[in-house]
Structure 1
Amino acid sequence: MAFLSYQPLSIDTLLELDAHPECGGLALFVGTVRDEHLGRKVAGLAYTAHEGVASRLIGEIEQRTREKFGVPYCRIQHRLGKLAIGDLAIACVVRAPHRAEAFEACRWAVDAVKHGVPVWKEEFYADGSSAFVEGCCIRDDFDDDPTHHHRHPHQDFKTA
């Protein structure tokens, strides 16, 4: 299964429900395209990526998530190309013996993708303008930046 897709994402292919009967917890995060950002009406957006590097890093994040949290299953997909309001942009599924590990691992994996994978989001606004969204950056030191509002999910995960 590809980590990046120009086609609509399918949650069903990520679930793999019967593959891990020892797991009682399944955490699923799906990020969708919203119609507003910082007070501006969003009409749609486009994701672009350094595809080779992004695919490799998402695979490494899945593996690191399994190791770090002791979970047998972690799958992540990120959409590329033009997306409409409501479209699925990212999906992450983690299966674990218990819900606490599943929730924690899923959050960590999504944060690691957001902070460490070269995927860029351009928003298209209702007024006809567009802009690349300044999001989380690929830096190992951003915890020291007081303007950065996200915790560093991969302090022990290096992207290089």
Structure 2
Amino acid sequence: MAENDDSGSGAEELLGTRLGYLLKHAQLRLAEHAGPALAPYGLDARELAVLAVLAAGRPLSQLEAARRLGVDRTTMVALVDALEDKGLVERRRSEEDRRRNVVELTERGVRVRAEAEEARETAERRFLAPLGERDAARLVQALRVLVGASDGS
């Protein structure tokens, strides 16, 4: 069998130096915090991201929202269908271009998004707490740079 059976600590040390492994497992741990925080609102993190994008400005089509989120059209349709079934969004004709449909938050969707965003922020702060405020802010800024979303500050 294994020459060096020390409960996997050697493998964990090796993997613990790999960025992909660390990012994946950090995301999984974050999900462990965010999932329960969002559960009372009947949302998961992806659905909340859709609500956030739809609330961020002018009404968007499903395709525009999908592009901003980096998801394919089929996934976006399923997400909007689920949110529509929950009474959080509605599809309607665009007032600017009658050939186009847009997706907007309902009154309930606006309220649920705001409350769920507060819960998400609290969960993220709890997740990042071991780093301290300064290092947590630096981590978030570094990740923004890596994904190309730097705010220039």
Question: What is the TM-score when the length of structure 1 is the normalising length?
Answer: 0.21
Higher relative CO (Cα under 8 Å, sequence separation at least 6) belongs to: 1
Question: What is the TM-score when the length of structure 2 is the normalising length?
Answer: 0.22
> Larger Cα Rg: Structure 1 or Structure 2?
2
